[in-house]
Amino acid sequence: MKEVKCDCGHVNPIGTILCESCGKVLEEKEKDKKLLDMRYEGSARRSQTYNKTLIDKIWNFFSSVKVGVWLIVITLIASAVGTILPQEMYIPPIMPAEEYYEDQYGWIGKLYYDLGFHNLYSSWWYLILIASIGISLVICSLDRVVPLYRALKKQKVSRHESYLQRQRVFGASQTEDTDKAFTMAKEKLKSKKYSIREENGNILAEKGRFSRWGPYVNHVGLIIFLIGGMLRFVPGMYVDKILWIREGETKVIPETNGEYYLKNDGFILEMYDKEKDKEVFGEAIDKAGMVAKNYQSNVTLYKKQGDTVAGEEADLKKVKDYEIKVNKPLKFENFALYQVDYKLNELNKMSFALTNKKTGDEYGDLTVDLNHPQDEYDLGNGYKAEVVSYFPDFEFDENGEPVTKSRIPNNPAFVFKMFTPDKPDGEISFVAIRQTIEPFGDNEYKMAFKGIDTKNVSALTVRKDLTLWIIALGGVIFMIGVAQGSYWNHRRVWLRRVNGEVWVAGHTNKNWHGLKREIEAALDGTGIKMPEDQLQNQSEKKG
Amino acid sequence: MKKQRLVMRTVILLVLGAAVAYTLYANFTKDKIQKVAVGEKAPDFVLTDMEGNKHRLSDYEGQGVFLNFWGTWCKPCEKEMPYMNNQYKQFKDEGVQVLAVNVGETDLAVNKFSERYDLAFPIVIDKDSQVQSAYGINPLPATFLIDKDGKVVKYITGEMTEETIKNYMEQIKP
C-alpha cells in the first residue's frame, strides 16, 4: 500500500478521503456527493485501512465506535439486571446464598444465582466489560484525534474548488473591487475574533478550533476516572470494613496496623416525639408509628504508644472524644468511621435467685456477666452455685447434646450445680431462657430467673479512600471536556478568488445559524453575495 | 513507518492489557490474601494461658511451634484437639511446642473444654482479637507450622487427622 499524492503535491496517508492540505476529494465514491462528509476532516482513520497482524485486528476491533456503543449497551443492561434482586452482600445472613435466592424468589432466584448475578459487580465478566469500555475509549480516541489534528494542522488557505463547492454554506458571486471587499471582510471577521490566514490573495478565517478537542479531553477525564476505580484494588488505597463494638468495649480499629483503638461509650437511638418535636413531624409519626431521629455512637479514639506485640496490653493515649452520627463521621489520618448499623439490647448480664421450689424461699441472688462468667458464685451460709457448663448461643445438636453456635450471648444457657446445706452433693439444673431441665430427676432447688441487663452494639464503617482525588480530578477534566466541546464552536470561513469570481464557503461543527449570521455581518457592505445553505435548499426543494 | 505503528500499537495494547490483568487478579485475590505468608517470619505475640503464665512466641525460637487457632463451638476444632494432645505428649520432648489460641471466648468455656479433653498443652485466649487480626484468621480451625527460626512453614485450615498432625510435627522438629 502506498500513500496518496494529491494534485496539489501534498502526500496524504493511505485511506484519506479529503486531501489534508487543499481539501480535494480523493476517494472515488465521495466524488458524486453534493455535500462533503466533514467528519474528522475526511482524514484517514488508520484502523480502517491497515488490517494485517493480530495486533492490528485487536486494535481495529476496539477502534470501532459501533463496538464501543455495544459494550456500553451490554454493560448498562447487565448493571440493570444486577439491581433486580439484592446482591449477595445485602442479603440477610439467615441462610447460604444458594438456598436464599431460590427460597425467596423461586426459580427466577435460582437462575439469578446460577448465572452469577448475585455477585455481579465484582464478577470477572463484568470487570472485563468495564475494562473493554476503557480500552475502546483509549483506542477510539487515539485513532481519531491524531489524524484530525494532522488534518487541521496541515490545511491550506486556498482549498480546492471541489472542496469549497461541496461545503454546506457556499456561494459564488462577482464584485467590482475584490481587493477592497476582501479587506473589509477581513477586518470584520477579525473583530469577530477570527484568526485570519492569507495566501495568494485568498483568506481562511478560523476560530474555536480547540472546541474540536473537547470530546478527547472528556475521554482523558473518563480514563483517569477509571484508573481511580482500578486503584481501589491496590492494597492500602481503599478500606471498607465494618467494626461491631459493644458499649464499654475497646477494640482495635481494623486496617490501622494496630495503631488506633476505639472505645464505645454508648449508643443512642432517638425517635421523633410528637409532644416535644415540631408539629410538622406529627403526620409522619402518625403514619409510620416510629420515626428515627438520631443514630449516634459516643466514642473515644486512642492511639497506641510505643511498640507492643499483638496480645500484649497496649499503652493507649486518648486522642479525642467524638459523637459519631449519620453523615458525621469520626475522621483521623486518612480514615473515617461512619455510623452504619446497631443492635439494641444484646444480652449482657443475667440474674438468678437460688430458690426452694416448694417454699419459694430465696437464698441469695447472683448475676452472671455473660461475657465473663465466673466458675462459681458463693451465696454465703453454705449456699453456692457452680457453673458446670456455659453455652452463650445455645442449641441442641443432631445428637441432642447442648452446644453453642457462636461466642455471642444470643441465647445463653447454663448447667448449674446448686449446693445447699441440705444437699451438700449438689443438684444439677440446666437453665436456658424460658426452659429448665433437671436431668437427674426432681430437684428441691431451682435457679429462678430474676432479670437481664442488656447492652447496645454499634456498627461502624471503617473507610479509607486514597483514590478519591483521582476520581474527582477525572470528573473535573471530564466536565472541562464537555464544556469545551459544547460551549465553543469550530467555525471556518473561506474566501477564494476563482476566475474573476469570489467564492465563499463556511463550515462549523455545530450551530450553523450562528455561522451564517457571522458571515452575513462580515459580508455586509462588501458587495459579496451571502452564500447559501445548500442543505437547507436541498430539503426545501424536496419538501 | 509500518513497523513503528505496529510497535506503538503493541505497546499500548500491552499496557492496557496489563492494567486489566492486574485489576482482575487483585479483585480475585483480595479475599484470599494471607496476612502471614509461608516463608515469612511469624508475627510475634504475647498471650496469657489459663494458669496465668505468659507465652511469647519469640521465646520459643529454637523449637518448632504448632500454632492452632480454635473455638469451643467449632466442631472440627473439637475433633482435632485430642489428636493434638496425643501428639504433643510424643513431641514435646523433641522440641515441638503446641500453642492453642482460643479466639476470645470466656475463661469458663475454655476451662471446661480443657478439663473435658484433659489438654496438656498451654491454651491462651486472644481476648481482643489482636493476634487473630495479625494472622488474618478466618475460618476456623487454622493452624500455622512455625520452624525453629520462627518462620512459617505451612498454613493449614480445616480439620486434621492424627496422622497428618504427626507428620506436621515431624516437619517442624528442630
What are the DSSP calls for A395-429, one per residue? EE-TTS-EEES-SS-SB-EEEEEEEETTEEEEEEE
- Nearest by CB to residue B44, choosing from A127, A234, A309, is A309
In this structure, what C-alpha cell is assigned to residue A175? 464584485
Considering the domain architecture, whether residues B113 and B168 belong to the same structural domain is answered as: yes
Domain CATH code at residue B149: 3.40.30.10
Considering the domain architecture, whether residues B20 and B63 belong to the same structural domain is answered as: no
Residue type, B126: D
Alpha helices, H only, A232-368: 282-288
Please judge whether A403 and B73 are an interchain contact, meaning their C-beta atoms are less than 8 angstroms apart: yes
For Cα atoms A237, A240, A243, give the angle at the middle one, nearest 5 degrees.
135
Considering the domain architecture, whether residues B70 and B21 belong to the same structural domain is answered as: no
Which residues in chain B are closer than 8 Å to A63, comparing Cβ atoms?
A: none
Distances (CA, A) of A145 to A40, A44, A63, B155: 8, 11, 12, 53
ipTM of the complex: 0.70
In a domain, B65, yes or no: yes
Range with lowest mean pLDDT among A245-249, A486-490, B15-19, B136-140: B136-140
Which residues in chain B are closer than 8 Å to A403, comparing Cβ atoms?
A: 73
Considering the domain architecture, whether residues B146 and B65 belong to the same structural domain is answered as: yes
Considering the domain architecture, whether residues B131 and B157 belong to the same structural domain is answered as: yes
User: Based on C-alpha coordinates, what's the Rg of chain B?
Assistant: 22
Q: Which of A406, A397, A396, A400 is nearest to B71 (CA)?
A: A406
Strands B96-102 and B123-125: parallel
pLDDT-derived band at A518, boundaries 50, 70, 90: very high
Domain count, chain B: 2
Cα A154 from Cα A151, distance rounded (Å):
5
Map grid coordinates 469545551 to a residue: A484
In a domain, B40, yes or no: no
In a domain, B41, yes or no: no
In a domain, B38, yes or no: no
In a domain, B157, yes or no: yes
pLDDT, mean over chain A: 87
Residue type, A57: K
In a domain, B151, yes or no: yes
Alpha helices, H only, A394-529: 468-487, 512-523
pLDDT digits (tens, 9 = 90+) for A278-317: 777 778 778 877 888 899 999 999 998 877 777 777 788 9
Cα A136 from Cα A113, distance rounded (Å):
30
Bigger pLDDT: A286 vs B163: B163
Cα A394 from Cα B87, distance rounded (Å):
31
Q: State yes or no: cis peptide before B141, omega within 30 of 0.
A: yes
In a domain, B39, yes or no: no
Considering the domain architecture, whether residues B98 and B166 belong to the same structural domain is answered as: yes
Which residues in chain B are closer than 8 Å to A309, comparing Cβ atoms?
A: 43-46, 56-57
In a domain, B89, yes or no: yes
pLDDT over 90 (residue A324) = yes
In this structure, what C-alpha cell is assigned to residue A535? 442543505
Number of residues that this document lists for chain B: 174
pLDDT digits (tens, 9 = 90+) for B24-82: 888 777 665 567 778 888 888 888 888 888 888 888 888 889 999 988 888 888 888 89
Cα A427 from Cα A444, distance rounded (Å):
8
pLDDT digits (tens, 9 = 90+) for A426-483: 888 888 887 788 877 778 888 888 888 888 999 999 999 999 999 999 999 999 999 9
CA B87 to chain centroid, in Å, comes to 18
Considering the domain architecture, whether residues B12 and B73 belong to the same structural domain is answered as: no
Q: Domain range for residue B11?
A: 1-33
Q: Tell whether A312 is within 8 A of chain B (Cβ).
A: yes
Considering the domain architecture, whether residues B155 and B130 belong to the same structural domain is answered as: yes
Chain A and chain B share a number of CB contacts under 8 A equal to 112
Considering the domain architecture, whether residues B6 and B56 belong to the same structural domain is answered as: no
Considering the domain architecture, whether residues B3 and B83 belong to the same structural domain is answered as: no
pLDDT, mean over chain B: 85
pLDDT over 50 (residue B87) = yes
Considering the domain architecture, whether residues B133 and B159 belong to the same structural domain is answered as: yes
Considering the domain architecture, whether residues B99 and B25 belong to the same structural domain is answered as: no
pLDDT digits (tens, 9 = 90+) for A41-63: 888 776 556 667 888 888 889 99
pLDDT digits (tens, 9 = 90+) for A17-40: 888 888 888 887 777 788 888 888
pLDDT at A508: 94
pLDDT over 50 (residue A1) = no
Interface residues from chain B to A (CB-CB < 8 Å): 2, 5-6, 9-10, 12-13, 16, 19-20, 22-24, 26-28, 30, 33, 43-47, 56-57, 71-73, 103-109, 111-112, 124, 126, 128-131, 133-134
Please judge whether B44 and A50 are an interchain contact, meaning their C-beta atoms are less than 8 angstroms apart: no
